[in-house]
Structure 1
């Protein structure tokens, strides 16, 4: 099934999340002595739904409704595929009701709050210059986390102030503007820390850790969240708060 999704063009990150969620379900099936898809019934799926509702994370907190939903929704698609491919005769998930997920407005910073967050990295050190450059690009261009991680040297057109995002969400390419200040911090990083840590052969990934390897998504989120928290603006968020903030400020400015 996952191979089918890969052939259909689903991203690696989507496939990785699907595998984690399906593995959780399959582990529950084993403890429930369910060994084949044909043994899964609507009743057993509802039992799994109750299991997710009562599940507690390592910190003792329950799964959020959105997390429960994200673990059940792929199962509906999977069983629909199993039925279509004739692996099972009936779809046990066809009438499974998913938890209702309420819509929560995203956190957004005002201009002063955003500037306060941007000033958090210690730019007297090369690591701080790198971090400031990353935050500036998130804020200036509204890139998503994975888009920033995959950004390569040839994707930035400093002369025209443009960034090419390759295979962004939905595997679509697009070109977005980048501000002069963000370019200035990027240029400073490219001339300080990056030459010191980059490994040969250089694959062109712009932002690297001290070990000379690209950031993991969780590492970048942790870094951004730490700066948002240390700014003391009373708002939570990580990489995506910069995207929402940029869009909101553009609308307020008449864009």
Structure 2
């Protein structure tokens, strides 16, 4: 059987179901599905047979890049197609995986800024208030800026995962299904405690979901993104996105003299190069501060 003779669109739901069975995150399943659907739309628009071979996939990726897609976006689409092709081969829907060994899209090394201390303080001040929404938002900002937890990890935390007495929170399922324990400062614990006391009056207070929305609603990823964007606007922080808090946490950890090994454990990284990617923007500042402390010019 060859891929030209199979209906990729009809098999896509089966693959997504398999991904869910593998406990892939909701975001990962959506990203993979979006990549394949984008490929199928492109094939239809260009009257191209939707075949998962190198020439067709490469043409699709080139068209995406020429159309203005960022290299990271193109890479995500290519990766989705490679994973889909591998699954089709494993399931004997195609004779062989034609995309095996296909070189990934080359990414530019981007320097991503982090929030300054003044910006972070302004973001926290923008959350001040006594209502559930304000208490929750300050707790979230402090939690993310201290632990570097990903947005999806923050949303997934349950009531039983937070131990304020010990100053610890457990991330049950991080990226790749890896869990970890993250430390919480006294200030963050205080902010969370204030939120929990107001949370008691919520109609969903008896549910295990930790973060709750206003008006009796739940609180998911989209709500988190909009909430943080709103607070950033109040704090006059431009070009804000939730992942910026992860960069900020990593930068502040190293600037305070924290070890790279400790940062990797708290942030949930397995590879050392992730530290460079997240903290490249402030590497020169840290080096200058370290040099002044070393006093090498004191001869």
Offset, 1:85:
4.2
Distance in 2 of aligned mates of 1:9 and 1:127: 31
Offset, 1:80:
3.2
Asked if 1:195 is matched to 2:207, the reply is no
Q: Secondary structure at the match of 1:205?
A: coil
Asked if 1:207 is matched to 2:211, the reply is yes
Structure 1 counterpart of 2:56: 44
What's the RMSD between the two structures over aligned residues?
A: 2.6
Asked if 1:104 is matched to 2:116, the reply is no
Distance in 1 of aligned mates of 2:74 and 2:16: 21
Structure 2 counterpart of 1:59: none
Offset, 1:159:
0.9
Structure 1 counterpart of 2:255: 252
Q: Secondary structure at the match of 2:76?
A: helix
Does the CA contact (< 8 Å) of 2:204 and 2:212 recur in 1? no
Distance in 2 of aligned mates of 1:138 and 1:132: 10
Does the CA contact (< 8 Å) of 1:163 and 1:175 recur in 2? yes
Distance 1:88 1:209, change over 3 A: same
Offset, 1:78:
2.0
Provide TM-score, normalisation by structure 2. 0.72
Distance in 2 of aligned mates of 1:68 and 1:102: 12
Does the CA contact (< 8 Å) of 1:129 and 1:189 recur in 2? yes
Structure 2 runs not aligned, ≥5 long: 1-14, 259-299
Q: Secondary structure at the match of 1:175?
A: strand
Distance in 1 of aligned mates of 2:89 and 2:189: 52
1:153-232 equivalences in 2 (<5 Å) = 153-192=159-198, 194-199=199-204, 202-232=206-236
Distance in 2 of aligned mates of 1:161 and 1:95: 46
Distance in 2 of aligned mates of 1:197 and 1:253: 38
Does the CA contact (< 8 Å) of 1:141 and 1:179 recur in 2? no
Structure 1 counterpart of 2:153: 147
Offset, 1:98:
4.1
Distance in 2 of aligned mates of 1:243 and 1:44: 37
